[in-house]
Chains A and B, each alone.
Chain A
């Protein structure tokens, strides 16, 4: 049977699913329920010094939904813990004793000086927690006070704080990154350079979820006003996947331990992040949407898939997709496909026609009886029809085999791989003629 056992930064947990630092890990009660439900680990809601911060007393969350109210994205303007430090520390200690086999890390955010970091680390060590996570991610509230993403956006600060932390504790140190930055590789490199043991990403994406058209105020609205918050949930998964991939394939950080966060909702999402190099995953919004019981779908789904693939352990497929992520210029321009519509599956909605005709390449024709057919002479294989078709697998992309003629270009499909760096239209081509 495939094993979900996880070892990350030397911290063991029965499965790679940890709860991210957020409301689900805010206090003893929640974390106990999570561990009872079967979660492998948790990163405690970010701690700071007393006097503890306060939260707004109006709505903290905004959301983006599909028409049938499926939650696509959540946004929050919540700050770090709003309870006294000692209360949190006492509870952490109780939980760690009660669940010694689970991973329990503590997220931290204190002012950007060495003394406060040193001070808080000492107190966290007393809880016997397994490690700490440095919250350089929150994009709202704390950043205006010089913490959170205000640190995460400056690689030099990340490196500096990571170094302070490492020199003041023997606990493993995870550096949590903000996506609100142009190139994620720089903060990751800085975390490594500072001696951090790994990175976790992404924290939330700066966002406003909507504008109330009666009051003309941003959502969520506090007394008629609003502020940007942090976006999370399914909508941010593609952003997180890319950032994880960027770090995994950067020669400077390749192999650096990485805990993936961002929109993970099903076992499939988790498997994708691990395939892109993540050692484990952290989840917040999915738990906040459905409750802790989703852990059974996550663990059993992942286990079953691993067994179907003949994979015995998490580490055995970790990073398997990384070599397949390339820069655009190395993609094979001799790979030619054409859209194909399966007439048996087609329900004749005509959406493929509407979008190809109006916004793409006029490559679909309507035959009598509302039969939709791809015109190979026009199809550039953009995939839009596949993406808008409501029936899965009704439209697929068929590969042309070498030797076949691409009806659009009139050229024979070549067997050899050839990319932009070799293309005659590229002024900088280094064609091996």
Chain B
């Protein structure tokens, strides 16, 4: 008998294949030419446009939209890529509702911003579909730069450096490039192996070698890198997951949400991916939302996010919260876990009610339980490397302007750096800016 939503425990194939395929199709399907033309027409070409400021990579948004309106999506794409070489991924994953689109003056005009993200995707997809890489490298400089980590920060940095004529070696601990583009982003935001295709396209500029299974801290030492390369960029992200620090975390079917998502992203057949009947996710950010939503999409009977503070303080945007609600995810706020209970496997979690008081979170004394066949912990990631040459600040690599660390030949950017903010687009901006700074320092 096939499994269903109510099958106890953790089981694969809770939904028919067609349903799962439908659930994991594109969240925002690509604009047709007609839709793009109409939407592009809505842009007012604002003076000193607020959307540009709101984009961490500072794309000239009114210009690229005007280029779409004028019927040259390829030119529009170049405007985007000039600022953000991962413009294709950002178009899919940026929480535009809190970035460019939040700043759109059309919000004031009629409560509906220009759909900048989808227009960006329209343009970048058009150019990428030609299969040709649009940039040429400047004459070789003979300089070699090591980039550690092939997430968006590392890739943006590597591309910009390659463009300037430098040779780049990217060291990646996993056996696949992309970082969280490949392992973290929700599957329905980047369908049809987009992350993989984008990297193929990006590295086609030449001058970028990626070495897999090379891990800083085990077979790579920062000191060696600074000696053998002219500069080093660290874009290692946050590879460690924070734990709850409560009893029962070691029970079976309790794991970090990022591990579950990574497994999901790498799964070739989602009907074979097991998921719990009653899933509980502890946390309040984008990762918690993605874990809960994707559990539901796989067929979990219930998925509950439990967050310790008030709803408005969740890291996930209102748009993301509404998306979760629309997929049947329940969001329980003002509660923190006391203990994960069960035998060998998790059975339920005991929570206590909280409220925000003068000194932060306080207990109300009230407790309650939620049944759980599977528990995902999504209370943040942490830096998983230790290095002697750089300084740390609040658990991240301390950087100043353009990602400079205290070491003159080491830069850092993205989630691992003190200026990172857990957004793909910020990682791209910081990787790019560090590359420019490295280039200047090598001149």
Contacts and interface: CB of A to CB of B under 8 A. Distances in A.
A101 B173 CA distance: 87
A347 B45 contact: no
A350 B41 contact: no
B44 A351 contact: yes
Contacts of A349: 44, 46-47, 105
Nearest to A357: B47
A391 B109 contact: yes
Interface in A181-235: none
A264 B142 CA distance: 69
B37 A351 contact: no
A354 B41 contact: no
A371 to B, nearest CB: 13
Nearest to B40: A67
Nearest to A364: B47
Interface in A46-74: 66-69
Interface in A269-303: none
Interface size class of B (residues with CB under 8 A): 10 to 19
A353 B47 contact: yes
A349 B108 CA distance: 10
A350 B47 CA distance: 5
15 contacts: A67-B38, A67-B41, A68-B41, A69-B38, A347-B105, A348-B46, A348-B108, A349-B44, A349-B46, A349-B47, A350-B46, A350-B48, A354-B47, A370-B50, A391-B109
B105 to A, nearest CB: 4
Nearest to B106: A347
Interface in B13-47: 37-38, 40-41, 44-47
Interface in B222-260: none
Interface in A160-188: none
A390 interface: yes
Interface string A328-355: 0000000000000000000111110110
Given A348-B105, A351-B44, 9 more contacts: A67-B38, A68-B41, A347-B105, A348-B108, A349-B44, A349-B105, A350-B48, A366-B48, A390-B109
A65 to B, nearest CB: 10
B112 to A, nearest CB: 12
Interface of B: 37-38, 40-41, 44-50, 69, 105-106, 108-109
A68 B37 CA distance: 6
A391 B46 CA distance: 13
A390 B42 CA distance: 10
Contacts of B41: 66-68
Nearest to A346: B108
B426 to A, nearest CB: 24
A349 to B, nearest CB: 4
Residue from A67, A69, A391 whose CB has the most chain B CB atoms within 10 Å: A67
Nearest to A358: B47
A390 B106 CA distance: 10
Contacts of A66: 41
Contacts of A69: 37-38
A328 B224 CA distance: 82
A366 B44 CA distance: 18
Given A347-B105, A347-B108, A67 B47 contact: no
A391 B48 CA distance: 18
- What does DSSP make chain B's interface, helix, strand, loop or mixed? helix
A213 to B, nearest CB: 10
A356 to B, nearest CB: 10
B109 A347 contact: yes
Contacts of B50: 348, 370
B68 to A, nearest CB: 10
B105 A67 contact: no
Contacts of A391: 109
Contact of A351 (B46, B69, B108): B46
Contacts of B44: 349, 351, 390
Contacts of A351: 44-47
A200 to B, nearest CB: 35
A413 B47 CA distance: 34
Residue from B44, B47, B48, B106 whose CB has the most chain A CB atoms within 10 Å: B47
Contacts of B49: 350
A401 B318 CA distance: 50
Nearest to A388: B44
A386 to B, nearest CB: 15
Contacts of B106: 347
B60 to A, nearest CB: 14
Given A349-B46, A351-B45, A353-B47, A67 B69 contact: yes
B108 A67 contact: no
Given A350-B46, A350-B48, A351-B44, A68 B38 contact: yes
A390 B37 CA distance: 18
B63 to A, nearest CB: 13
Q: Which 3 A-B pairs have the closest CB atoms?
A: A350-B47, A67-B41, A347-B108
Nearest to A67: B41
A351 B37 CA distance: 21
A391 B110 CA distance: 10
A347 B51 CA distance: 13
Nearest to B44: A349
A391 B69 CA distance: 21
A347 B42 CA distance: 14
Contacts of B38: 67-69
Contacts of A67: 37-38, 40-41, 69
A68 B41 CA distance: 7
B64 to A, nearest CB: 15
A51 B46 CA distance: 58
A262 B388 CA distance: 80
Contacts of A347: 105-106, 108-109
Contacts of A366: 48
A69 B69 CA distance: 11
A64 B291 CA distance: 50
A351 B50 CA distance: 12
A427 B106 CA distance: 51
Contacts of B69: 67
B39 to A, nearest CB: 9
A353 B47 CA distance: 7
Contacts of B40: 67
Interface string A356-400: 000000000010001000000000000000000011000000000
A349 B40 CA distance: 16
A353 B49 CA distance: 12
Nearest to B70: A67
Interface string A63-90: 0001111000000000000000000000
